[in-house]
């Protein structure tokens, strides 16, 4: 099956590579003509994957129509807040029935919508799916072993996509819990910022472990309010991605939190999806009456209305309660 990968950043490049390595004819659309030339002529994407030699078979185009010719599966790999714009470009261009696999992790800030809701709204004839799990683009581009989950409401479609997108070093599990996979991927970014801030502020590994564990409780509470299944959130696109991104400065969200905790400048930092998701996640939790003090603290720290010292004070002085309450 022919796969079209839309989005020329770190993850789009890595997924285009892995699709090719899995044996699929693959087109790769990036909107930046200079980046297209770098991929096609020098086999590199210096803006997003510096120092990584790309497979010579990978070619890119900045012509969206050309990328979509014959496409039987589309991977949408622009940042979450840009998904609506990318979907709008697909209207009238993508064939009905072709699945759109959302590879971004986030919730739309302006509407509180899940990314699959945006696809359903903009492209009602194209079933949405989501690919999520612990997977750094650099690891995947280098061909290191990785496992992710591919979800769609239709279990058969999810299984077909998992087979299609798997490659020798890239193992895709399938799930019919689309909501769970989406929410797990979106909320882990907020917690990765929190974990980074804890380390950046010098609060120690014990505090980091407590934060991630209690943050996971919030992720499950908020996930449940969306209808996510608990076992999905215990899987790759939830717990798995927390393990990866709450403990490594290779994560841009963790690195963002690290800088925040240290009091460093945040100007010019790489994409940290949790920044956009924190505010809307905190709003959704408040509207639904869900206790989510860590998510709320991250939102206020990012807004500059709460210092990390005060956040720690607030979190530690909350009334004591049973752990499973």
Ligand X SMILES: NC(=O)C1=CN([C@@H]2O[C@H](COP(=O)(O)OP(=O)(O)OC[C@H]3O[C@@H](n4cnc5c(N)ncnc54)[C@H](OP(=O)(O)O)[C@@H]3O)[C@@H](O)[C@H]2O)C=CC1
Ligand Y SMILES: O=C(CO)COP(=O)(O)O
- Asked if 232 interacts with ligand Y (CB under 6 A), we say no
The annotation status of 252 as a binding-site residue, yes or no, is yes
Q: Give the nearer residue to ligand X in terms of CB position, either 60 or 308.
A: 60
Closest approach of Cβ 266 to ligand Y, in Å? 14
Among 57, 63, 85, 264, interactor with ligand X by CB under 6 A? 85
Sheet holding 100-102, edge to edge: 26-29, 3-6, 73-76, 100-102, 128-132, 146-151, 170-175
Determine which residue in the list 36, 78, 195, 239 makes contact with ligand X, applying CB under 6 A: 78
- Terminal C-alpha separation, the chain: 48
231: β partners: none
Pick one of 12, 99, 200, 215: the residue that binds ligand X (CB under 6 A).
12
Query: Side-chain half-sphere of 228: how many Cα atoms within 13 Å?
Result: 29
Among 1, 2, 31, 117, binds ligand X (CB under 6 A): 31
Q: Is 188 a catalytic residue?
A: yes
**Spatial contact of 159 and 165, defined as CB atoms under 8 Å apart:** no
- Residue 32 binds to ligand X (criterion: CB under 6 A): yes
Distance (Å, whole) CA 116 – CA 209: 31
Q: Are the beta carbons of 212 and 246 closer than 8 angstroms?
A: yes
Q: Nearest approach, Cβ of 15 to ligand X (angstroms)? A: 9
Q: Is 201 in the site for ligand Y (CB under 6 A)?
A: no
Question: Within 250-269, which residues bind ligand Y (CB under 6 A)?
Answer: 251-253
> DSSP labels for 242-292?
HHHHTS-TTSHHHHHHHHHHHT---TTPPP-HHHHHHHHHHHHHHHTT---
Q: Does 45 bind ligand Y (CB under 6 A)?
A: no
Which residues in the 269-308 window bind ligand Y by CB under 6 A?
273
Three-state DSSP at 44 gives: coil
Number of residues that bind ligand X (CB under 6 A): 27
Cβ proximity to ligand X, 82 vs 217, nearer residue: 82
In the complex, minimum distance from the CB of residue 128 to ligand Y, in angstroms, rounded to a whole number: 19
Taking the least distance from each CB to ligand Y, the nearer of 117 and 139 is: 139
Based on the shown chain and the rule CB under 6 A, indicate whether residue 67 belongs to the binding site for ligand X. Answer: no
Among candidates 130, 207, 198, which has minimal Cα distance to 161? 130
Instruction: With beta carbons less than 8 A apart as the criterion, state whether 136 and 244 touch.
Output: yes
Interacting residues with ligand Y (CB under 6 A): 105, 134-136, 189, 192, 241, 244-245, 251-253, 273
Residues involved in catalysis: 188
The annotation places the binding site for substrate at: 105, 252-253
């Amino acid at each position: 099956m022919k796969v079209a990968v839309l989005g020329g950043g770190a993850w789009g490049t890595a997924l285009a590579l892995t699709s090719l390595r899995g044996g699929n004819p693959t087109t790769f659309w990036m909107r930046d003509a200079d980046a297209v030339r770098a991929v096609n002529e020098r086999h590199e994407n210096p803006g997003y994957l510096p120092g990584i030699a790309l497979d010579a078979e990978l070619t890119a185009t900045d012509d969206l129509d050309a990328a979509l010719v014959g496409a039987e599966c589309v991977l949408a790999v622009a940042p979450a807040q840009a998904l609506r714009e990318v979907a709008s470009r697909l209207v009238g261009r993508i064939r009905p029935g072709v699945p759109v696999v959302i590879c971004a992790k986030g919730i739309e800030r302006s509407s509180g919508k899940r990314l699959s809701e945006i696809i359903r709204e903009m492209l009602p004839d194209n079933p949405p799916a989501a690919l999520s799990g612990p997977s750094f683009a650099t690891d995947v581009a280098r061909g290191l072993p990785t496992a992710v989950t591919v979800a769609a409401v239709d279990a058969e479609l999810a299984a077909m996509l998992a087979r299609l997108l798997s490659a020798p070093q890239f193992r895709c599990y399938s799930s019919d819990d689309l909501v769970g996979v989406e929410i797990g991927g979106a909320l882990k970014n907020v917690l990765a910022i929190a974990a980074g801030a804890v380390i950046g502020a010098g609060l120690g590994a014990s505090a980091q472990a407590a934060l991630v564990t209690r943050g996971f409780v919030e992720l499950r509470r908020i996930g449940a309010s969306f209808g996510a299944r608990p076992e999905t959130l215990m899987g790759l696109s939830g717990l798995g991605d927390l393990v990866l991104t709450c403990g490594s400065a290779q994560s841009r969200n963790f690195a963002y939190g690290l800088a925040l905790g240290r009091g460093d400048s945040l100007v010019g930092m790489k994409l940290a999806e949790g920044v956009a998701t924190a505010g809307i996640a905190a709003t959704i939790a408040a509207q639904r009456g869900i206790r989510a003090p860590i998510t709320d603290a991250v939102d206020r720290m990012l807004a500059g209305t709460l210092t990390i010292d005060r956040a720690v004070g607030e979190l530690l002085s909350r009334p004591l309660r049973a752990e499973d309450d």
